[in-house]
Structure 1
Amino acid sequence: MEKKNIWAISVASALIVVAVLATVVLLVGKSTAKESGESVVNNHYVNVIANPPLPDTMTFCGEKVPLDNEMVREALDRELTTVCYQHSTTLMCLKRSGRCFPVIERVLRENGMPQDLKYVCVAESSLANVTSSASAVGYWQFLENTAKIYGLEVRTEVDQRYDLEVSTRAACKYLKNAKNKFGTWAMAAAAYNRGEGGVQAAVNSQSQNEYWNMYFNPETARYVYRIMAYKLVFENPQIYGVRLKDNEKYHPWNCENITVDSTITDMYAFCKNNGMTYKELKELNPWIRSTKLTVSSGKSYTIKKLAKHK
């Protein structure tokens, strides 16, 4: 009888311990889920879809955004929601910013232009060297004719739309001209998307010159708000659920320069002679579009290679 009692007590004790452990695991799971943006419903984990918060006030390039206007507020809310829930795209943009922003920010400073304009590049290309269905190319998405107007070299062997620094300088020229023409940076950004002619036609027909009060085609109507949404997320990543340490961003390449003032007939041989791989050449110098580089008299190019660790 005593043995049965002892066995019963042991079983009861074991069940109590199991129950306590299960409760602890459940509570820890709920806590972890809360921290990771999940919730527990009927013992199942589900993702929490939270509304990204809008600020009460905001500026773009130092200009006040009229967030007290309900149409403006809803338009920004739409783009902010999109940016926040395009997880892979937004995260990759943040990672690439570690490599691209130092170059873009320096060029903006040298041209006396607002740092917020770097988010135009984010909206244009996600900070990647891409080609659109409309044949816009590079980080800043220049069409060929526009690129040439603003001083970029575009030919079979060379396409400077793929050069981040050089194309950023061209973008600065475009945006500065548009700002001088339309009066605000918001309108300049709209012109970068729509073209100066398209924006001017809208100004003339609607008798308006403020982006926030104008009716545009769907793409341009969303464009400046998308830029501002990226600004909010990039400047406040924790608020919008992004957890990315600075050392997890892609860092700038440590490069040394090779000045080329004569024609290169064989890029493979050039790479071998200069202690670099062809992949290294193409990754660091995407503006080189051929296996040869014709250099006119009096002209030179700068080719980057990875600096060797001493």
Structure 2
Amino acid sequence: MGSHPCPIGVALIDDDAMALAYLQSSFSPDPDLRVVIATRSARQLLDFLQSHQVDVLIAAVHMGAVLDQGAMSGVDLTREALRISPRTRVILLTTADNDDVLLNGLAAGASGFLLKSTPAQEIISAVRTVHGGAKVVAPKPTARLIDYALASVRSADGSVALSSREHDVLRLLCEGASNRQIASRLSIAEATVKTHVSVLLSKTGTSSRLEIVVWAFRHGYASSGVGASMPPAPPPATETAPQASPAPMTPTVPAAHGTPAAPGASSGAASPAP
């Protein structure tokens, strides 16, 4: 008798008990898929990963304080799960098509992004896809993923390709601006600034804001037109007092006959005949 391939081990986590139960029941009919743990506890899941093999983890993005890790989101959980089990593939389920979630999840190492409204069979298909080494996303974010991938490619000379907005954020980081100040200057949400900083950390291979700034100066990004799309504001104009116009020259009037000429009068004036 031939040996049967091992089923794909799937872990599920969601703070919504009903959603978790529905998702778990969706995997029951498939013999090549096996739910090895379904939990609402981040601590329980992370402990399980320490001693068990999990091929694919499906995690809800937005999870609240019901998780005993505090306010750990699906993106935070992805990062920690992959630290413990680097070979595990992660699919994030979200209730909204959101750029911040997409980019943060990508930077954390997720292999898939699907809406929670995705039919169960499509989620199961996505599990097989990511287990095979590919990535899967909901239709809408696909174009943004392509843009992100293109912007992440390193140039042949080793430099890093940054988007226009990332250049702006990097320039302001080099000026010492906080996330709130950057958000105000660029007229974007503070959460979006955090996303850009996270992407910059990933692209530059750094681990802190200070390291990003050091990296920028070492690689010429801080002195070679960083933020060219957003030039610094010109200094406020200072009022200068108008210069006084020179006093008009008073014409010299020849002295009357018989009257001594005024000082400075022309010596060429004719004297009356004797």
TM-score range, shorter chain: under 0.3
- For CA contacts below 8 A with separation 6 or more, give which structure has more relative contact order: 1
Q: What TM-score, normalized by structure 2, do the two folds share?
A: 0.25
Higher normalized helix content (fraction of residues): 1
Which is greater in Rg? 2
